[in-house]
């Protein structure tokens, strides 16, 4: 499919207003309302996004590079607070207790205790496998060895890596393969039982077999934890998610059931992207 321009001209699709998400019938974990994000240089990376996050389901965010999907994801556990000058607007409300994750009164450290994150590149700490998974418990001040051991085992089992590492828990995490390291990082994020698990292109550095394992894992996880995943890979979003959000130039262009987004997108921009015309 040869199209003349890789990016659409301002005159066609992007001038059409984004489609606001319809009211959700399923239970929610969180609501993103009127959310904008500004980098310290004043650049607005996200523009007025409204989006529901379904409880214990997989929500995928797709879109071309630079559309703001990772920025949105990183906002949900306040990663941008690590670098001075960044600014949030709007609200991200947890349904359970009405806490606004990006509100000025919310402590970023507390937010990160409730919302776990897995990064694009596997980033195990240069410690043993056991200590990697236990890290999230230790920062919470848990010292009881039995509690930690049980949580580590549970997390490794949930991350479907227990059988591969149970005999070398005290070996270095850096000796694992890339795919194992990423599942270890998922186990590390799961160990403290977060309410939401964020995955930022978790398979982009993995080979197809490791990718398939991580995808299976994500689907299993969604039975017990809310998952939000950013992915470059549209097939991946179609395979594993219940809802898909399409972002472009900092806006949420369209949000809906994954099957609807991929088979009958309503917005012409979404259609061009999923048919591979740009991105």
Partner 1 sequence: MSVTTQGSLGNAAVKTDQAAYAAIARAKRRDIIFSVGGLVVMAIAMTLLLTLIGDLVVRGLGRIDYDFLTNFPSRKAERAGILSAWVGSLLVMLVTALLAIPIGVAAGLYLEEYARKGWLANLIEINVANLAGVPSIIYGLLAVGMFVYGMNLGKTVLVAGMTLALLILPIVIVSTREAVRAIPKIIKEGAYGLGADQWQVMWNYILPAARPGILTGAIVGLSRAIGETAPIITIGALTFIAFLPPAPITGEFPFINFDWLNAPFTVLPIQMFNWVSRPQADFHTNAAATGVVLMALTLSLNGVAIWIRYRLRKGSRN
C-alpha–C-alpha distance, residues 7 and 161, integer Å: 41
Binds partner 1 by CB under 8 A, chosen from 135, 160, 212, 249: 135
Q: Which residue has the tokens 């990064």?
A: 119
Does residue 44 bind partner 1 (CB under 8 A)? no
The rounded distance, in Å, linking the Cα atoms of 32 and 206 is 30
Instruction: Choose the stretch contacting partner 1; rule: CB under 8 A; options: 59-67, 119-127, 159-167, 204-212.
Output: 119-127
Other CB atoms closer than 10 Å to residue 182's CB: what's the count? 31
Kindly report each contact of residues 148-154 with a partner whose C-beta sits within 8 Å and lies 24 or more positions away, as own/partner: 151/191, 151/192, 152/187, 152/191, 154/191
Structure tokens at 207: 């080979």
CB-based burial label for 145 (10 Å; 0-12, 13-18, 19+): exposed
The least CB distance from residue 113 to partner 1, in Å, is 4
Report the nearest approach of partner 1 to the CB of residue 209 (Å).
Answer: 23
Residue tagged 């991200």 (tokens): 92
Indicate whether 123 belongs to the interface with partner 1 (CB under 8 A): yes
Q: Is residue 39 part of the contact set for partner 1 (CB under 8 A)?
A: no
- Least distance CB 121 / partner 1 (angstroms): 6
Instruction: Spell out, one character per residue from 139 to 168, where the chain touches partner 1: x when CB under 8 A holds, - when not.
Output: xx----------------------------
* Site for partner 1 contains 126 (CB under 8 A): yes
Count of residues in contact with partner 1, rule CB under 8 A: 27
Q: Choose the stretch contacting partner 1; rule: CB under 8 A; options: 113-121, 161-169, 258-266, 268-276.
A: 113-121
Binding status of residue 16 toward partner 1 by CB under 8 A? no
Sheet containing 28-38: give its strands across. 44-54, 28-38, 87-94
Considering beta carbons, is residue 85 or 103 the nearer one to partner 1? 85
Q: Give the nearer residue to partner 1 in terms of CB position, either 84 or 104.
A: 84
Closer CB to partner 1, 97 or 163, in the complex: 97
Shorter beta-carbon distance to partner 1: residue 6 or 82: 82
End-to-end alpha carbon distance in the chain: 13
Interface with partner 1, residue 104, by CB under 8 A: no
Q: How far is the CB of 17 from partner 1 (least distance, A)?
A: 35
Whichever of 7 and 123 has its CB closer to partner 1, that residue is 123
Distance CA 171, CA 166 (A): 10
Binding residues for partner 1 (CB under 8 A) = 77, 79, 82, 84, 109-110, 112-113, 116-117, 119, 121, 123, 125-126, 135-136, 138-140, 172, 174-175, 185, 188-189, 192
């Amino acid at each position: 499919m040869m199209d003349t321009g890789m990016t659409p001209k301002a005159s066609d699709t992007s001038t059409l207003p984004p489609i606001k998400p319809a009211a959700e019938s399923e239970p929610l974990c969180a609501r993103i309302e009127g959310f904008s994000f500004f980098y310290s240089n004043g650049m607005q990376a996200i523009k007025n996004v409204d989006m529901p996050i379904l409880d214990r389901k997989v929500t995928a965010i797709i879109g071309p590079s630079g559309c703001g999907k990772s920025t949105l994801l990183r906002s949900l556990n306040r990663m941008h607070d690590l670098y001075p000058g960044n600014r949030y607007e709007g609200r991200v409300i947890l349904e359970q207790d009405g806490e606004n994750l990006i509100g000025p009164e919310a402590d970023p450290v507390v937010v990160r205790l409730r919302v776990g994150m897995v990064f694009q590149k596997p980033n195990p700490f240069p410690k043993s496998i056991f200590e990697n998974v236990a890290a999230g418990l230790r920062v919470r001040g848990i010292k009881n060895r039995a509690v930690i051991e049980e949580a580590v085992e549970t997390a490794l089992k949930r991350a479907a890596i227990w059988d591969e590492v149970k005999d070398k828990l005290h070996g270095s995490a850096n000796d694992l393969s890339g795919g194992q390291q990423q599942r270890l990082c998922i186990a590390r994020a799961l160990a403290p039982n977060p309410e939401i698990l964020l995955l930022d292109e978790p398979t982009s550095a993995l080979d197809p077999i490791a990718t398939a394992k991580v995808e299976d894992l994500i689907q299993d996880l969604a039975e017990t934890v809310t998952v939000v995943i950013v992915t470059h890979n549209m097939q991946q979003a179609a395979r594993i998610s219940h809802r898909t959000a399409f972002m472009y130039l900092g806006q949420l262009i369209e949000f809906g059931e994954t099957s609807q987004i991929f088979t009958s997108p309503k917005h012409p921009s979404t259609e061009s992207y999923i048919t591979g015309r740009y991105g």
